[in-house]
Structure 1
């Protein structure tokens, strides 16, 4: 059921790094994005699929992992993503990608969750360095990086208390994500 997939689709930040993801699996998830809606149907998004550990280790330090988890520099060796999808905008097709990035990322992540994986969508990226590593042409704008793997952490949803929306980890390493109550979201 879609509701269950959405609830399971959390921002996972620790993975079983040795549980690799094939290029074919990433391709299947990008195909879900291909089938998704696109503003004006321009379809200007492009993707770089990264499954090799060497390129992954170059991408890893170029993304920010969890702003609210002070003092945590990201997953330790052995807990890092097994793969990445770098989402790009092709400026030769369109000046604007509208909301396509969010729609595509959600489609990819729901596909990953359905297959027993998970990930984290990261827009805080050192784009200049990543552009160099990937040898990108100027026409491609880096939008975000999707880190993917088999989750090695538990993430739970809970109601926001005292208007504090910051996620946090408890002593056992369980990741807590506060969510606003439904009656706060619907005005009338």
Structure 2
């Protein structure tokens, strides 16, 4: 798959096909790719936990918030839930603010998932203390982000935001997820 197509297909998928679970081996490859990403001052403060077993996935799920703009939707229904999670942690002894590293790493891992026919969603709205307790996260590590993963179970439609439109994503009458993007002329200030 060419790079432009890969980026266009890397959407925030929030519904998955649980009958086709993401392989743990692929999640391990994602972490391995993430660990070699560029890192500010090469400090490499990120650590990772993979959640793939059903029991733990079921306990992680209620600790996540899914789509702030979809007020009447509490998240994917049974059968549409993620089949794996990668929890990205920050080692506070190495760095107090690894935000740039986090973005580079998470995007890189998701691109690999998409290339392999899977997808995911970066979730920062997490009950972090509860997740740390559930996963027995060692002291000195903070939950930064959860990447929910699986075989996409929904269509995500990119569309250009109209001049009078807004950026709020929505679902249409056919339950397709629409994501308005600002046009190039609005974000590129000088040619």
TM-score w.r.t. the length of structure 2 is 0.96
- Listed as ranges, the gaps of 5+ residues in structure 2 are none
Please state if 1:178 is matched with 2:172.
no
Correspondences of 1:97-112 after superposition (within 5 Å): 97-112=98-113
Counterparts of 1:35-184 in structure 2, within 5 Å, are 35-161=36-162, 162-184=164-186
* Residues 39 and 98 in structure 1, CA contact (< 8 A), matched pair in contact too: no
Which shows bigger deviation, 25-34 or 44-53? 25-34
What do the CA deviations read for 1:10-63 (whole angstroms, capped 9, x no partner)? Answer: 000000012122221101111221221111111110000011011101110111
Unaligned runs of 5+ in 1: none
- CA offsets, 1:158-180, max 9 Å, x none? 01122400000001111000000
Equivalent position SS for 1:128: helix
Q: Displacement, 1:96?
A: 2.9
- With over 3 angstroms needed to count, the CA separation of the structure-2 counterparts of 1:98 and 1:13, relative to structure 1, is closer
The TM-score normalised by the length of structure 1 is 0.97
Alpha-carbon RMSD: 1.0
- How big is each residue's C-alpha offset from its partner over 1:64-84, in whole Å with a ceiling of 9 and x where there is no partner? 100111110100000000000
Q: Secondary structure of the equivalent of 2:121?
A: strand
After superposing the two structures, state which structure 1 stretch, 16-25 or 50-59, moved more: 16-25
Distance in 2 (alpha carbons) for counterparts of 1:21 and 1:175:
22
Runs of 4+ in 1 over 4 A off after TM superposition: none
Counting matched residue pairs gives 188
Kept after mapping to 2: 8 A contact 1:38/1:100: yes
User: Which deviates the most, 162-171 or 115-124?
Assistant: 162-171
